[in-house]
């Protein structure tokens, strides 16, 4: 049995009955919170914040001090893995993440190797251990990584992209080189997530943020098989407890049934698909996470509550739903909007299950 005082999130991922629908938010520790901005200012830079276990712990816990959330998520970045591979991650104000040494030449690609998560990424493991101590078994801690395809996008493009021209050119002109990047990166993601599990995270999520930019054939060639490889390599149990996993492809509704077939415990949905229809398609195979449009949180409180109830009603009073946004929360979100959302999800889902 779980020692957690609130294990609703973990039980929902395993499609077990819960008294209410658990809720957490992608990017829940972030710039929409003034206390986060203050901690980041003290840290000096985003990477300094990520690499300081005490400060990473502080910002991980900040949203839980404000809201009755059912899970915490490790504060880190999806690009720590390629940074540990030697690509030189840095952040420029207003421009997002960039790499000093993106993959351009064949020899650089052939030289890629899997970093030791207990060496180059030990700061992440130290943060996990510190956060678990601070949480004191109140709610579960989620670990995460970017997917092999999404990490490869950044590694080849060197930054975020509007058209993904460089990596798509590589995919269609030298698929052998892209498969090599994806293969090494898959092994790196598995090692990284398993090290997080060993350090104390109780569930893991794989963010395939850019999977939706691919054609159907390309998704099934360059993203889905590597997601499956990651899922198959994950540690599934620690200290007698299941460690569930979530796979989220933004824009992946077209491939929902295929994603549900790779062996994951839960599939994350963006806001473009009706979650009730999604549940009909996957049946009892996986739990579903999602899927409110993040921009709903800019609406008045009554509209936020209405839209949240629509998502809950669409899924129905069934096991296996974790409420979340369909993507990360915007930095411009009013903090009080999140209170409305969390309280509505808990109250309405209890009613759906016949509670008070």
- Report pLDDT for 252: 96
pTM of the model: 0.97
Structure tokens belonging to residue 75 = 């504060």
Q: How many of the other CB atoms lie within 10 Å of CB of 37?
A: 14
Q: Label residue 1 by pLDDT band (50, 70, 90).
A: very low
Q: Which tens digit of pLDDT belongs to each residue from 53-111?
A: 999 999 999 999 999 999 999 999 999 999 999 999 998 777 789 999 999 999 999 99
Kindly tell me if the per-residue pLDDT of 335 is higher than 70.
yes
Q: Which tens digit of pLDDT belongs to each residue from 193-252?
A: 999 999 999 999 999 999 999 999 999 999 999 999 999 999 999 999 999 999 999 999
Residues with catalytic function: 27, 31, 40, 77, 154
> 191 and 114 in contact (C-beta within 8 Å)?
yes
Query: What average pLDDT score do residues 107-134 get?
Result: 97
Whole-number percent of the chain with pLDDT over 70: 99
Cα distance between residue 155 and residue 165, in whole Å: 13
> 73 and 348 in contact (C-beta within 8 Å)?
no
Q: Label residue 257 by pLDDT band (50, 70, 90).
A: very high
290 phi-psi bin (left φ>0, alpha ψ -120 to 50, beta other): left
Cα distance between residue 78 and residue 126, in whole Å: 17
Partnered with residue 92 across adjacent β-strands are 96
> 343 and 68 in contact (C-beta within 8 Å)?
yes
Residues in the chain: 356
8-352: CATH topology is TIM Barrel (3.20.20)
Sequence-separated contacts (24+) of 275-280 with Cβ below 8 Å: 275/311, 275/314, 275/315, 275/321, 276/314, 276/315, 276/316, 277/314, 278/253, 279/315, 279/316, 279/318, 279/320
- Report pLDDT for 356: 54
- Residue 2: closest CA among 239, 236, 287, 246: 239
What residue spans define the domains of the chain? 8-352
Kindly tell me if the per-residue pLDDT of 2 is higher than 70.
no
């Amino acid at each position: 049995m779980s020692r957690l005082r609130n294990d609703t999130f973990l039980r929902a991922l395993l499609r077990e009955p819960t008294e209410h629908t658990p809720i957490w938010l992608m990017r829940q520790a972030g710039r929409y919170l003034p206390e986060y901005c203050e901690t980041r200012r003290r840290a000096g830079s985003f990477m300094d914040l990520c690499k300081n276990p005490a400060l990473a712990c502080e910002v991980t816990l900040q949203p839980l001090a404000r809201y009755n959330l059912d899970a915490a998520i490790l504060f880190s970045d999806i690009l720590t893995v390629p940074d540990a591979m030697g690509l030189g991650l840095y952040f420029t104000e207003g421009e997002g993440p960039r790499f000093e040494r993106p993959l351009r030449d064949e020899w650089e690609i052939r030289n890629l190797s899997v970093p030791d998560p207990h060496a180059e990424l030990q700061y992440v493991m130290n943060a996990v251990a510190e956060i678990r101590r601070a949480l004191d078994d109140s709610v579960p801690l989620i670990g995460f990584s970017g997917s092999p395809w999404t990490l490869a996008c950044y590694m080849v493009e060197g930054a975020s992209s509007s058209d993904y021209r460089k990596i798509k050119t590589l995919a269609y002109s030298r698929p052998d080189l892209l498969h090599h990047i994806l293969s090494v990166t898959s092994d790196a993601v598995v090692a990284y997530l398993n090290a997080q599990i060993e350090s104390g995270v109780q569930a893991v999520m794989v963010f395939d943020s850019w999977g939706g930019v691919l054609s159907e054939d390309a998704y099934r060639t360059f993203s889905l098989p590597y997601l499956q490889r990651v899922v198959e390599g994950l540690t599934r149990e620690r200290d007698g407890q299941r460690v569930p996993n979530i796979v989220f492809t933004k824009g992946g509704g077209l491939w929902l049934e295929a994603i549900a077939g790779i062996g994951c415990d839960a599939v994350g949905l963006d806001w473009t698909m009706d979650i009730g229809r999604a549940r009909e398609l996957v049946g009892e195979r996986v739990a579903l996470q999602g899927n409110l449009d993040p921009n709903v949180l800019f609406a008045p409180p009554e509209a936020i509550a209405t839209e949240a109830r629509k998502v809950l009603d669409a899924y129905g009073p069934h096991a296996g739903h974790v409420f979340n946004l369909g993507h990360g929360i915007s930095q411009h979100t009013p903090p009080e909007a999140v209170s409305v959302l969390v309280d509505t999800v808990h109250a309405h889902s209890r009613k759906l299950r016949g509670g008070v």
